[in-house]
Structure 1
Amino acid sequence: MRSTVRWAALTGAAVLVSAEWLNWRWSRTLVGNRAGDREAVVVLGYRNPQPAANRVNRWRVRAGLRSVDVDVDAAGAGGRATRVIFSGGPTSGGPAEARLMADYARSELGFDGRVQIEDRSASTWENVTHVIPLIEDADRIKIVSQPAHALKARAYLRRQRPDLAERLVRADDYRPGEWLLLKPLLAVYGLWALRRLRADERNPPR
């Protein structure tokens, strides 16, 4: 009995560690160390038929706001060098995901920085397509979501606008232990979601 419990505990720990490592790796793929004073933080929406931001979108907003580089932001005119772009269209006839996230950032989190809204997208590919005009003048671009989803969006930006993809830097959307018990499910979903990316997009040469 003890050996069974020990085996189960070791297996569970191995699964958690593997899932943590996958999410850590995804958060650091297709990003660089670009410098600059103009920063764009793009927060991708999650399907949200409710009239208020759901748990996933609330977390993405928090991750987006904590991704704002304080030093970069302070360097801009009026301390507003960074713009936060919420991207996502309406779900099932409800409000646009982007507007729900922006409302949550303003009313619940008290964010008073620069906000832009892209509220037409119905897919990750469209998220990227529609935010391109909003990020073309940015020196640094951060894409915020769960790590696998953010990597997928970075790969799409690399396909659509490789020049802009050169400006991608890491967002603060991965922290050790965050979503710990859900990390294995997120890892499985991530492997499925990233299955069609090319090898050089999932594991670019160093």
Structure 2
Amino acid sequence: MRRRTGLAIAGAVALGWGEWLNWRWSRTLVGHSGGVSEAVVVLGYRNPQATANLVNRWRVRAGLRSISAADGRDTRVIFSGGVTGTGAAEAQLMADYAKSVLGFDGTVFLEDRSTTTWENVTNVIPLLKDVDRIKIASQPAHALKARAYLRRQRPDLAERLVPADDYRPGEWLIVKPLLALHGLWTLRRLRHDERKGSL
């Protein structure tokens, strides 16, 4: 009985830790930029098959629910990701899923050359210059990494970063401790101010 109680407590602590860390990452390096126009950048994940995989489908949904305007008229959604297998680019697969499965009919841009997060950021910069708000949608640790890279490459544009809707309490709850551990590994090379700071 005591062992079961200890395991239950350890499990609850791990779930709470994973939830808290993902929440914190989703709110790091973002501000409260105003204005009307926005860009939602959806970062791709390795996708060697012919259709969007589970991770990319979730990222598309997170990106689309990040759109602020009721009609989405002043929002552009940028799918970013190149070819990682023998098929289509991640950006194309995500766009196809958004349109054909989710019925999204808003403004879409494709950035289909990137194979790393640094390249994702570099290659979407020309599509961000004329918007008031920038949202980056991915798993929270990955999105934070991309925001830190935008801050390094274009601090003026990084001032326009606002939170995406890529964190929700209880979503991916069981795997959040694993996502948190992976996130700590992913973010290990970021500077302290990038991991904990604000714009």
The 2-side partners of 1:193 and 1:31 are apart by 19
Q: Secondary structure at the match of 1:42?
A: strand
The alignment status of 1:95 with 2:94, answered yes or no, reads no
Question: Do the aligned partners of residues 111 and 118 (structure 1) sit closer, same or farther apart at CA in structure 2, a change above 3 Å counting?
Answer: same
Aligned structure 1 segments of 4 or more residues deviating by more than 2 angstroms: none
Q: Secondary structure at the match of 2:40?
A: strand
The alignment status of 1:30 with 2:23, answered yes or no, reads no
Of the candidates 161, 166, 189, which is equivalent to residue 173 of structure 1? 166
Q: Secondary structure at the match of 2:30?
A: coil
The 1-side partners of 2:69 and 2:21 are apart by 28
Deviations 1:121-177 (A, max 9, x none): 000000000000001111000000000000000000000000000000000000000
The 2-side partners of 1:51 and 1:179 are apart by 25
The alignment status of 1:190 with 2:189, answered yes or no, reads no
1:94 Cα deviation after fit: 1.7
TM-score by length of 1: 0.95
Could you tell me whether the CA contact under 8 Å between 2:92 and 2:110 is conserved in 1?
yes
The 2-side partners of 1:18 and 1:157 are apart by 27
Give the structure 2 partner of residue 199 of structure 1: 192
Q: What amino acid does structure 2 have at the position aligned with 1:104?
A: Y
Deviations 1:1-24 (A, max 9, x none): x11000000000000000000000
Give the structure 2 partner of residue 121 of structure 1: 114
Question: Do the aligned partners of residues 88 and 205 (structure 1) sit closer, same or farther apart at CA in structure 2, a change above 3 Å counting?
Answer: closer
Give the structure 1 partner of residue 76 of structure 2: 83
Q: Secondary structure at the match of 1:142?
A: strand
Could you tell me which runs of 5 or more consecutive residues in structure 1 were left unpaired when the two chains were aligned: none
1:205 Cα deviation after fit: 5.8
Question: Do the aligned partners of residues 40 and 205 (structure 1) sit closer, same or farther apart at CA in structure 2, a change above 3 Å counting?
Answer: closer
1:93 Cα deviation after fit: 2.3
1:80 Cα deviation after fit: 1.4
RMSD over aligned CA atoms reads 1.0
Q: What amino acid does structure 2 have at the position aligned with 1:183?
A: K
Give the structure 2 partner of residue 57 of structure 1: 56
Q: Secondary structure at the match of 1:183?
A: helix
The 2-side partners of 1:12 and 1:70 are apart by 39
Q: Secondary structure at the match of 1:57?
A: helix
Q: What amino acid does structure 1 have at the position aligned with 2:182?
A: Y
Moved more, 62-71 or 155-164: 62-71
The alignment status of 1:162 with 2:148, answered yes or no, reads no
The 2-side partners of 1:7 and 1:153 are apart by 38
Percent identity among equivalent residues? 72
Could you tell me whether the CA contact under 8 Å between 2:49 and 2:85 is conserved in 1?
no
The 2-side partners of 1:115 and 1:11 are apart by 44
The 2-side partners of 1:60 and 1:148 are apart by 13
Could you tell me which runs of 5 or more consecutive residues in structure 2 were left unpaired when the two chains were aligned: none
1:70 Cα deviation after fit: 2.3
